Amino acid sequence: MEQVNPTRMELLKKKTQIRLAEQGKDLLRQKMDALINEFFRIMGTVSRSRDELEAIAENAQRSLVIAQAVDDSIALRSASFATKRHIALDIHGRNIMGVPVPVIEKKSLVLSVLDRGYSITGVSGRIDEVAEKYEHELDLITGLAETETALRRLGEEIQMNRRRVNALEQVLIPELQRQAKYIRITIDEREREDLFRLKKVKKILERKKKSRKKM
């Protein structure tokens, strides 16, 4: 046990520390509960987005295989080169219960036929379909990146809060309570000893008083 000064002032100090630690533990628990609720809400969104992305990716791959089998390979390759471009994303942050998470601002990546950069007369509708499905897949990937990052950061914050609560609950508060108990016991023992000495002194003084009266 940490060396403590067994005085009433120290006892009051320990009681204040215990009260503050209990309040801190309760606040952290409340925050953790709110974070867990938000975590599961976002996890539902992530789960649905993953399922949708898997279905879109399979569909896009199927369309590509069909286009490769049916259309002219040069036209398909030319269309793919023509549509290469930089994807502009505006990323900023927001807070969820004090946890910074990213927000990705972007325009839809699904383009019209005229905006894809290749000649509409040189490609078939199958190639247009492939482009549209892969653009949709990119849209989903970008959105999923935002929600999965938020989910990971919330998970890390929940774990951190859980460790803090455990430290307060299992280490700090019990130690403060042991120290407060030690101080109370020491003060009680000291007061009993003082009372015993006072009674002893009182008896001595009474005997002396009686002896003087006899003289």
Enumerate the domain spans of the chain.
Answer: 8-208
CA nearest neighbour of 112 among 131, 134, 138, 84: 131
What global pTM score does this model have?
0.70
8-208 under CATH 1.25.40.340, yes or no = no
Average pLDDT across the chain, whole number: 83
At 104 the pLDDT is 78
Are 96 and 150 contacting, i.e. CB atoms less than 8 angstroms apart?
yes
Other Cβ atoms within 10 Å of 93 Cβ, number: 8
pLDDT digits (tens, 9 = 90+) for 48-100: 889 988 998 998 888 888 887 877 676 666 666 556 666 667 787 888 888 88
pLDDT digits (tens, 9 = 90+) for 121-154: 666 667 778 778 887 888 888 889 889 999 999 9
